[in-house]
Each structure stands twice: as C-alpha cells, then as structure tokens.
C-alpha cells in the first residue's frame, strides 16, 4: 500500500480534514485528525491494519494490547491480522492497569497499538505495564503518528501515516488571510 493510497483513505473517511480549524489549544491549523472516523469503515480500517501487520510478521507477536478507549478497535483488528490475542489497558484512579482478568503471560512478545499518537504518553504507560507484568514489548503500531517520528519509544515503532500537524498562533495564521472560515471541530454545527 502506497502513502498516496493511505492518504486517500484518511481523506475519504474524514479521518483527516483539510481546511481552517480552531484547535483546543486555541491555535489554528490547516489540518484536523479524528482517527475514530476511520473505524466507522471496517473495510478501510482493516486495509490499514493489514498494511501495518504485514510489516510486523518477523516480530513474532504473541499478544496485542492497547490503551482504552482510542486503541481498542485498532487492537482488535491488529490481533485479527496477526492471528493472536487482544487485550486492553484502562485507567483506574489515573493508573494504566489491566482489569477484566486480562493477563500478560511472562515472556509474551507484546505489540502495543494506538490509533493516533501525539505525545505517546498513554502508549508509554502501556509499555511500562507490559514490562511490570513480565511481558516483552516488541513494537508500537499506530495508524497516525502526529509527532512525525519525534516521540521516542525505546522499541521499534510502525505507523501508516506520519506527519506533524502544523499550527499557528491566531495572529500569525496565514489561513486567516484567506476567505476560508475558521471552524471548531467537534462542535455541534461543525459539518463538512
Ligand atoms: Zn486562522
């Protein structure tokens, strides 16, 4: 699968929007990513997860884990592609933990996945949890790496699409100088 084909999927599923957006930080951007949109379309999320899984065959993964809730659907599809089990971690009193009697066997080779990574904080907590349980984190898988490779995991990382989202201080935003209206993603009257 080429980068162009991947980008086409991200655009046609509205996972990646292009325009003039007000980010929660107050800054403006010409792009907005909402990875949950990709998973509205099982055939497209399957295609991207398959593309990632093909690069991971040599890792001999035993188990996939993801941080709830953003990574859960991706984790399920990655596990399906790799033919292994899938579990997820969730926060309890702020601490990333395994509930529901999920287990990580000692020595298991574990793939950590997250749909979109910006700072990598949740994934790093999941990797730490895997180590605490005696598992071996072997790689990170992401649909979108919004840090463009700047997040430094201490294990190999794979992504379908990697790009830094450029944002501007409102007073320095070049898009404000065009006719493109500023929209706030996620607001009720946000439509595309
Ligand atoms: Zn602007």
**What is the whole-number distance in angstroms between the Cα of residue 178 and the centre of ligand 1?**
9
pLDDT tens-digit map of 157-180 = 999 999 888 899 999 999 999 989
Handedness of CA 128, 130, 132, 138 (dihedral sign): negative
- Region 103-118: what's the mean pLDDT? 95
Residue 192 alpha carbon to ligand 1 centre in Å: 17
CA-wise closest residue to 140 among 64, 37, 34: 64
CA–centroid distance, 180 to ligand 1, in Å, is 9
Q: What percent of the chain has pLDDT over 90?
A: 80
| 192: confidence class by pLDDT, cuts 50, 70, 90 | very low
Question: Is the Cα dihedral 109, 114, 119, 125 positive or negative?
Answer: negative
- For residue 10, pLDDT beyond 70: yes
On average, the pLDDT of the chain sits at: 93
Rounded CA separation 48/86 (Å): 17
What's the count of helices (H) and strands (E) in the chain, helices before strands?
A: 4, 9
Quote the ligand 1 centre to 113 CA distance (angstroms).
33
CA of 124 to the centre of ligand 1 (A): 33
């Amino acid at each position: 699968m080429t980068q162009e084909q991947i980008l086409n999927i991200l655009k046609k599923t509205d996972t990646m929007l292009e325009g003039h957006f007000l980010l929660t930080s107050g800054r403006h951007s010409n792009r907005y990513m909402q990875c949950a949109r990709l998973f509205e379309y099982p055939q497209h999320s399957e295609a991207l997860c398959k593309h990632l899984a093909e690069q991971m065959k040599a890792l001999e993964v035993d188990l996939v884990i993801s941080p709830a809730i953003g990574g859960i659907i991706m984790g399920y599809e990655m596990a399906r592609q790799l033919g292994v089990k899938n579990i997820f971690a969730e926060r309890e009193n702020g601490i990333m933990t395994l509930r529901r009697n999920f287990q990580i066997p000692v020595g298991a080779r574990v793939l950590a996945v997250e749909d979109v990574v910006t700072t990598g904080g949740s994934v790093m907590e999941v990797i730490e949890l895997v180590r605490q349980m005696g598992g071996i984190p072997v790689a990170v898988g992401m649909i979108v790496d919004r840090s463009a490779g700047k997040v430094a995991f201490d294990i190999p990382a794979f992504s379908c699409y990697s790009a830094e989202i450029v944002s501007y201080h409102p007073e320095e935003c070049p898009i404000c100088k065009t006719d493109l209206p500023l929209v706030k993603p996620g607001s009720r009257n946000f439509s595309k």
